[in-house]
Chain A
Amino acid sequence: MTLEKRRLLGRRQLTAALWRGAMLAATAITCSLALFIVIYVSFKGLPHITWRLVSTAPSHLQRTIGILPDILNTVYIIFAAVTAVLPIGAGAAVYLTEYAENKKMVAVIEYAAETLAGIPSVIYGLVGMLVFSGTFGTSLLSGALTLAVMNLPTVMRTTQESLKTVPQSYREGAFGLGAGKWRVIRTVVLPGCSDGIITGCILAVGRMLGESAALLFTAGFAHVLNGFFDGLAGSGATLTVALYVYAKERGDLETAFAIAAILMALTLFVNMLASFAGAFFKRRREA
C-alpha cells in the first residue's frame, strides 16, 4: 500500500468516524432533552398535586387554588370538539375515497386539508374569535368549534388511510348482492374503517389537550365551576390556558408545574393509547 493510498484510507476512516459520532451525539441530545423535560416537570410538579387542587374551584375567600373547573372545561371542550369534527372529518374522507370521481375535486379538497394542517394556532384563534365568538360569544363552544376545524385534517387523513385498506372485493360483493351505494357504505365500508376513525379521534384528542394559543381569544380565562351545557355557553380556561395564566400572569409556579405534570401525563397517556389502538387494530385486521 502506497503512502498516498494509506492517507486516503485514513481520511475515509476519519470522515466515517465523524459521521458516526455526529449520529450518536445527536441521538443522545434528542433523548436526553426529552427525558430532562419529563423528569424536570414531574419532579417540580408532582409534589404540588394535591387532592384539594384537583377537586375544588379557586376561592378568593379561603385563598385556595383549585383546578377542577379547568379540568372540567378541558373535558367539555374536547368532547364538544370531537363531536363536531368526527362526522365532518369521517364524512369528507368517505366522500374522497368512495364518491369522488372528479380528480380535480379530490386534489382541491386534499390541498385544502394540507393547508389547514399547516396554519398556526394563533391564526385559528384570531379567525375563531371573529367567526365563532362573534356568534356564540367568548365561550367554550367557540373554542371547541375552533379546535374542531384545526383537527379536521387529522381525522380526515387517518379515516382515509383506513378506508383504503377496506378490500375492494367487500364492496363488490355487496354491490353484487344488489345493495345501493349508501347501504354498502353504511354496512360494509364504515364498519371496516371504524378503527381508523377511532385512532384519528384519539390523535385529535391528544392535540386538543395541548392546544392553547387558539383558545386564548375564543374560550377565554374564566375559572368557574359549571355543568356541561352552562360550561359550553360560558367562558372558561382549559388546563393549558390555566397553566399560562398561573405561570406568566400570576407567577404561581407551583400550580403551573402541577398543571404541567398533569397535562404531560395526560398527553403521554393519550398518545400511547393512540399507538396501542393503531397496533391493536392492525393486528386484528391481519389475523
Chain B
Amino acid sequence: MKKKKEFMETAVHGLFLCLGLITVGCVLLITIYLIVSGLPAIRQIGLSGFLLGKKWASTAPEPFFGILPFILTSIYGTAGAMVIGLPVGFFTAVYLAKAAPAVLKTAIINVVSLLAGIPSVVYGLVGMLVLVPGIRTFFGVPDGAGLLAAIIVLSVMILPSVINVSVAALEAVPKEYEDASLALGATPTETYFRVSVPAAKSGIAAAVALGVGRGIGEAMAVMMVAGNAANMPSLFASVRFLTTAVACEMSYAGGLQRQALFSIALVLFFFIMVSNAALNFFLKGSKKR
C-alpha cells in the first residue's frame, strides 16, 4: 500500500516535471529548426553575399539573394516607429502613473488595453484605407504604401506595450523619493520628471526594448501597408521588412528560394533574441532597486 502511494507520488512529480520542460523543449525546437533549415541557404549563397547583398530577385532566372534591403528596412522602420511612438507613449505613461485623477486613469487604462487588443489585421486594414491614401494626397507621391505608412502603423501598435511597461516602472518608484523632492520645494510636475522618471529609467528602457521587439516582429499590419517590393528603404518607397519578406513568398516558394526564406527567419530570430536579452537585462535592473 505504502509502496503504491510512493510510486504514485513519483509518477505525478515526473509528469509535472515533463509539463514544465515542454516550454524549454519548445524553445529548443524552434531554435534548432530555424538553424537547421536556415543555414544551408546561407552556406550556399555565402554569409556576406546574403547579409550585405543589395539585390533580392528570388524568382529571376539568375536569382539574387541579398537581404540588406530587408534588414535596413526593419531597422529603419522600427527606429522610426520608436521616434514617433516612444515620446507619445512615455508622456502618456507619466500622466497615467503620476498626474491623472483616479477616475480618468481607469478610463484611459481601459482605452490603452483596447488599443492592445485590436488585432493586427485590423490595424493593417485601417492603415490601408486611411493612411495610404492620406500619404498619397498629402505628400503628392504616386503610391502611399511604403515605409512611412508602415512606420506610422507600427508606432501606434507599439504604444500599449510602451505605456504598460513604463506605467508599471513609474508606479514602482518609492514614494519617499517623491516626498523628499516635494518637501524640498519642487512642484509635482518637476518631481515626476526630475525624480520619478530617472528613478524608473531601467523600467522605461525595458519598455523601449519591448517596443523594439514588437516592431521588428510585426508582420501582418506591415504587409498590408508597406507595398512589399524589395527596394532599399526610403521614406516613400515600397519596402519589405524581414517579417514580410518571409510571409510574402512562403506560400509559393520552393528550392533555394524557400531555404533562403528560412535564412531570413533565422536573421529575424537573431534580432529578436538580441532585443529579448536587452529587455531581460533592463527588467532585472529595475527589479534590483
Measuring CB to CB, which residues of chain A are less than 8 angstroms from any residue of chain B?
Answer: 12, 15-16, 19-20, 22-27, 29-31, 33-35, 37-38, 40-41, 44, 87-88, 91-92, 94-96, 98-100, 105, 108-109, 111-116, 118-127, 129-131, 149, 152-153, 156, 180-182, 185, 206, 209-213, 216-217, 240, 243-244, 247-248, 253, 256-257, 260, 263-264, 267-268, 270-271, 275
Q: How many A-B residue pairs have CB under 8 A?
A: 242
CB pair B126–A41 under 8 Å, yes or no, is yes
Q: With a CB–CB cut-off of 8 A, which chain B residues contact A243? A: 121-122, 125
**Do A30 and B159 contact each other (CB < 8 Å), given the known contacts A23-B99, A95-B17, A248-B224?**
yes
A38: contacting residue among B24, B94, B114, B193, CB under 8 A: B114
B280: contacting residue among A26, A114, A129, A264, CB under 8 A: A114
Distance in angstroms between the alpha carbons of A254 and B112 in the assembled complex: 27
Q: With a CB–CB cut-off of 8 A, which chain B residues contact A213? A: 120, 219-220, 243, 247
Can you list 20 pairs linking A and B with CB atoms under 8 Å apart? A30-B159, A33-B115, A40-B130, A88-B22, A91-B15, A99-B13, A109-B23, A109-B24, A116-B23, A120-B219, A120-B268, A122-B246, A124-B30, A125-B247, A149-B26, A181-B9, A182-B8, A210-B120, A244-B124, A248-B223
**Do A22 and B111 contact each other (CB < 8 Å), given the known contacts A118-B213, A240-B121, A267-B118?**
no
Instruction: Looking at the assembled complex, report how far the CB atom of B189 sits from the nearest CB atom of chain A, in whole angstroms.
Output: 4
Measuring CB to CB, which residues of chain B are less than 8 angstroms from any residue of chain A?
Answer: 5, 8-9, 12-13, 15-17, 19-24, 26-27, 29-30, 33-34, 37, 87-92, 94-96, 99-100, 108, 111-115, 117-126, 128-130, 156, 159, 163, 187, 189-190, 192-193, 213, 216-220, 223-224, 243, 246-247, 250-251, 261-262, 265, 268-269, 272-273, 275-276, 279-280
A247: contacting residue among B34, B117, B224, CB under 8 A: B224
CB pair B122–A217 under 8 Å, yes or no, is no
**Do A30 and B27 contact each other (CB < 8 Å), given the known contacts A100-B20, A114-B280, A181-B12?**
no
Distance in angstroms between the alpha carbons of A275 and B156 in the assembled complex: 23
